[in-house]
Amino acid sequence: MTATTWNRDARPEGPGAGVDEELDVIALGRRIRYLRKEKGMTLDDICALVETAPSHLSLVENGKREPKLSLLKSLAAALGVSVDDLLGAEPPSRRAALEIELERAQRGPLYDSLGLPKVRISSRLPMDVLESLVGLQRELEHRLDEQAATPEEARRANTKLREEMRQRNNYYQEIEQEAERILKASGHTGGPLSHHRAADIAEYLGFSLRYVSNLPHSTRSVTDLKNHRIYLTQSGRADHDPRSVLLQALGHYVLGHQTPADYADFLSQRVATNYFAASLMMPEKETSAFLQRAKKERTLAVEDIRDAFAVSYESAAHRFTNLATEHLGITCHFQKVHETGILHKAYENDGVNFPADHTGAIEGQTICRYWTSRVVFDVADKFRSFEQFTDTINGTYWCTARTERHSSGMYSLSIGVPFEHVKWFRGRDTKERCQSKCPDENCCRRPPAELSSTWFGNAWPATRANTHLLAAMPTGAFPGVDETEVYRFLEEQA
């Protein structure tokens, strides 16, 4: 199965690509056998020349023993080739390539898990049988890869990544340093990053920009790595800041991303490029200094970050989580919750008790209706942020939240901190307070007794089925992206 390669340095392909030393020995053995038979020599013939036992050379040819350098030199001389020729990566024939691939597969964990007997690979194995066995192995791997891209696998990947973010306090120094280097090199001296300066950064990195009206529908941008062009579209939607879309595209290049190996890799890359874009639009030194001044004055507020750097409230909230613990010593949590109460994005390093399933995943879970992120939907004043204290089983938290409309509905965006840190924030004088006993079902999962006594057994709602929840995750190296559509787009632009 050939991997998709959209990265700058395509991963090597073929039987000898990206394998460990044991599998290289398999390729070496097949090459020695091929060259020996091409010269019409038997094992006994060549063993007499290189002074080794036929049983030993047989193990070498079958990839079960690594030859010493002295034996390799003797074999190369006997076969009339150089040592480099013996160690070459390219299989000497199609049959040799298939034999190597089958041998490699039979030594792998997938074949072991099937409990099947191993096929003896020799010159007596018919070519059509060899091709069928390799084809079956490829198809099995392909189908298992597709099965792995399930919503459950995605939730597990999210859980693992969130754990890493928690351990690092959501702070990635290596990305901060790279962003600082690029800002300095491109001439940015402070203040909000303008569209013009974002274009300067692209030019500094060697990319030209093209705005088109026919960008593939499954993409926000397309990068032509062959000609160093980035294709963008001018959209009326407010969901995505054009600067952020451009900087995320550049992030893949700057951070040296390769084609994602799986969904977890894809997700990790996406988080990294979002972080990279934020660290350019809200530089670490400038933003941390801004936050430290506000902390000293006890007026920390997410909307002030938004206004100072001309970014969205969501971007400002994310950036606060990057820097709050590292530079201010404040633990915190972030939530993005749909108007239906479903949690879409979250981060925490302050011990807040997010609802979770048996895998530890929190995405798709329902947030307690008494939390700030739910109460804010019922607040009439949508212009200012809403603040509330919430008493939970893990302690008291103060949260600030506001709602924003996106193409998929209304969302609340909230930042919360433990009670001990509220003294640094504007809005700490709020009189709003709620109590949450979740995960106790009597908190908000069950309807009040008086309503149940009246309506239990007398209501039959017609649910709105979210059919996408029943489907597997989109397959491919970049989930949901139609590769054919992207390649045809690039071909037309070229």
Cβ of 47: how many Cβ atoms within 10 Å?
Answer: 18
Mean pLDDT of 377-395: 94
State the DSSP code for 327. I
Sheet holding 386-392, edge to edge: 343-348, 333-338, 409-418, 395-406, 386-392, 433-435
What distance in Å separates the CA atoms of residue 86 and residue 32, rounded to the nearest whole number? 7
On the 0-12 / 13-18 / 19+ scale of CB atoms within 10 A, 279 is buried
How far is 391 from 144, CA to CA, in rounded Å?
Answer: 45
**pLDDT higher than threshold 90 for residue 179:** yes
Pairwise pLDDT comparison (111 vs 226), residue with the higher score: 226
pLDDT confidence band for 14 (50 / 70 / 90): very low
The CA–CA distances, whole Å, from 384 to 212, 218, 403 equal 37, 35, 10
Confidence of residue 476 (pLDDT cuts 50, 70, 90): low
Quote the tokens at residue 230: 């980035």
Q: Is 417 helix (H, G, I), strand (E, B) or coil?
A: strand
For residue 154, pLDDT beyond 90: no
Choose the weakest-confidence range: 26-40, 323-337, 390-404, 416-430. 26-40
The one-character DSSP state at 259 is: P
Q: Which of 137-146, 307-316, 467-476 has the lowest mean pLDDT?
A: 467-476
pLDDT at 169 over 90: yes
Residue 423 has pLDDT above 60, yes or no: yes
Q: Counting beta carbons within 10 angstroms of the beta carbon of residue 277, is it exposed (0 to 12), middle (13 to 18) or buried (19 or more)?
A: buried
The total of other beta-carbon atoms located within 10 Å of residue 490's CB is 18
pLDDT for position 20: 40
pLDDT of 427 over the 50 cut: yes
User: Helices 21-38 and 54-61, interaxial angle, to 10°?
Assistant: 120
The structure tokens listed for 183 are: 């800002």
Least confident of 38-52, 120-134, 144-158, 396-410: 144-158
pLDDT (mean) for 237-253? 85
How far apart (Å, rounded) are the C-alpha atoms in residues 57 and 403?
Answer: 72
φ, ψ dihedrals at 208, nearest 5°: -100, 155
The pLDDT of 104-131, averaged and rounded, is 84
For residue 448, what pLDDT is reported? 81
pTM of the model: 0.70
- Give the model's pLDDT for residue 465: 56
Phi-psi region of 164 (alpha: psi -120 to 50; beta: other; left: phi over 0): alpha
CB 362 within 8 A of CB 355: yes
